[in-house]
Amino acid sequence: MANPLKIVIAGCSGRMGHALLEAVFADADLVLHGALDRAGNPQLGRDAGEQFGIVSGVKLSDDVNAALKNVDVLVDFTRPEASMAYLAACQQHGVKMIIGTTGFSAEQKLAIELAAKQTAIVFAPNMSVGVTLLINLVQAAAKVLHSGYDIEILEAHHRHKVDAPSGTALRLGEAAASALGRNLDECAVYGREGVTGERDPSTIGFATVRGGDVVGDHTVLFAGTGERVELTHKASSRATFALGALRAAKFLSSKAHGLFDMQDVLNLR
């Protein structure tokens, strides 16, 4: 790139914020322009590079409007309520946005779609290149294993994750349902307990595990008679999500507006 992209990172004191900062500092095509976190955070006012032994000249702040002046892209992996506030600020300042937050309501997703008419947004529940490929593989498998195979999606995350199933698990379910001509809202089963009766072959089941420091494991199981096909992705570091998000930021450099996902970023459509 002729000129480095100017990046603002939201939620810098969190686990993903830490990974994003580290990735930005390591990329010569990017420059950190702003570092945001919630009001009252005791780290406000510190240099964003301090934890890496870097003097970046960018201090952690809760002033969104100041951070977004003359910026190219805001990268956000926070919570839905915070993301909505950042979205409104990006619309106001004409800043592009990468949204890796999960757990949005239908109304909040609609707000993201409407905002994309004014600015460019990459919105994906998982920014990993491997998971993006997995989505395509699940679609291909579902088209072949469309009869006689039960689909179950298993996911595991760390104890601090607040939404379940994960946004990635839901996206994988949507990929399978779409390939089969089904609506996930109508065929998903999110829990089983007691005498449930035989499994409805038209359903897609979800199982959730929360514990320890698991970064993120996802398996899509196609269980037939006499065989099983399992498609699995395991993340061992948040760096994979950070690198994918920054790849998405570079993708947006040529976009004026529109809503995109990682399939677009990787040219997999």
pLDDT tens, residue by residue, 56-85: 999 999 999 999 999 999 999 999 999 999
Q: Which one, of 68, 80, 77, 71, lies nearest residue 109 by Cα? A: 80
Q: What is the pLDDT of residue 71?
A: 96
All residue ranges of the chain with pLDDT < 50 are none
**Domains within the chain, CATH numbers bracketed:** 5-123+238-265 (3.40.50.720), 129-235 (3.30.360.10)
Whether residue 93 lies in the annotated active site? no
Q: What is the pLDDT of residue 269?
A: 76
For residues 91 and 118, is the Cβ–Cβ distance under 8 A? yes
Whether residue 117 lies in the annotated active site? no
Catalytic residue from among 33, 157, 218, 233: 157
Q: What is the pLDDT of residue 247?
A: 96
Strands of 71-159 (E only): list them.
Answer: 73-76, 96-99, 120-123, 150-157
Catalytic residue from among 6, 18, 146, 161: 161
